[in-house]
Amino acid sequence: MQKNTFRISIISLLTFLSINLAAQKYKQNLQEHDVKPYHFGFILAANTMDFRITTNQAAIGRFYQGEGIPGFENTDGASLFGVSSSPAVGFTVGVVGNYKIAQHWDFRFVPSLAFGERNLNYRIYRIPDGEIPYLVNHTEVVSSTFLEFPFHLKYKSNRAKNFRAYVLAGFRFNIDLAAPSADVSSDQEFIKLRKNDLLYEFGAGFDFYFPFFKFGIELKGSYGTKDLLLSEGNIFTDGIQQMRSKLFQISLTFE
């Protein structure tokens, strides 16, 4: 349902922009905008954060005492059957710095602050005292607040009146401000992540030139290169061999 609403919103926005630009009778706006060596702006974005999980098969079926597992305290124990992840929608705000390298090439630096969360979904065999085990679903929510430092190369098409398309690629360095410190032990923190991550990114977008500003809409995917999971030796981390970040973002830029 969320995906369908998302798509309808994007189609409606693009339709509105096309009608608005057509109504301007092809007057070319901001003729000097792309001649400048550099310019600035800001972004507002919606993101979906997720994980790419590699399962540790050796931990599947391992028995864990119920004590210390939330929701399993009054049972004999539990064993892991499977683990997966699912995304949730968050938001991002940031500042755009754009430097013109050549006619069709720009270098972009977009420091941002991103908020979001990811769901780790576990299928666990609950083992009651003296009773038959049964399968239950359990979700751990992992929240993150990222300081993001993306560096991109942007290739632009020729401008067609008040419209231009582009593609971009680059990398991004993330600092997770919400990640608990690795040297702080807590009975409430069953999953801990490393604070720093390096991601490679690629995307595409469209720029629309209005009389007083340039508006852009951009789709971008990001894939982490580092294993983020800090093993805590419990049922929630033992079943994961590697866990890397995966993000998708749709941005509105104003420059």
Q: What confidence tens digit (pLDDT) does each residue in 221-232 have?
A: 999 999 999 888
- Residue 175: its pLDDT value, please? 95
Confidence class of residue 6 from pLDDT cuts 50, 70 and 90? low
- Domain 35-254: top CATH class: mainly beta
Report the C-alpha gap between 244 and 222 in whole angstroms. Answer: 11
Report the C-alpha gap between 104 and 90 in whole angstroms. Answer: 32
The set of residues, in sequence order, having a beta carbon less than 8 Å from that of 112 and lying 6+ positions away, is: 43, 45, 92, 93, 94, 95, 146, 147, 148, 150
Share of residues in the chain with pLDDT > 70 (%) = 84
Q: Locate the domains of the chain by residue range.
A: 35-254
11-25, 52-66, 91-105, 241-255: which range is least confident on average?
A: 11-25
- Residue 209: its pLDDT value, please? 92
Distances (CA, A) of 182 to 173, 229, 233, 242: 19, 10, 13, 17
The whole-number average pLDDT for the span 131-160 is: 90
Report the chain's mean pLDDT, rounded to a whole number.
Answer: 85
**Residue 196: left (phi > 0), alpha (psi -120 to 50), or beta?**
beta
- Residue 101: its pLDDT value, please? 93
pLDDT digits (tens, 9 = 90+) for 37-94: 888 999 999 999 999 999 999 888 888 877 667 667 677 788 889 999 999 999 999 9
Do residues 99 and 119 lie in contact, with contact meaning Cβ atoms separated by under 8 Å? no
Distances (CA, A) of 82 to 79, 136, 138: 9, 11, 11
Can you tell me whether residue 158 is helix, strand or coil?
coil
State the amino acid at position 26 in one-letter form: Y
- Residue 65: its pLDDT value, please? 78
- Residue 2: its pLDDT value, please? 46
Confidence class of residue 26 from pLDDT cuts 50, 70 and 90? low
Q: Is residue 191 predicted with pLDDT exceeding 90?
A: no
Share of residues in the chain with pLDDT > 90 (%) = 53
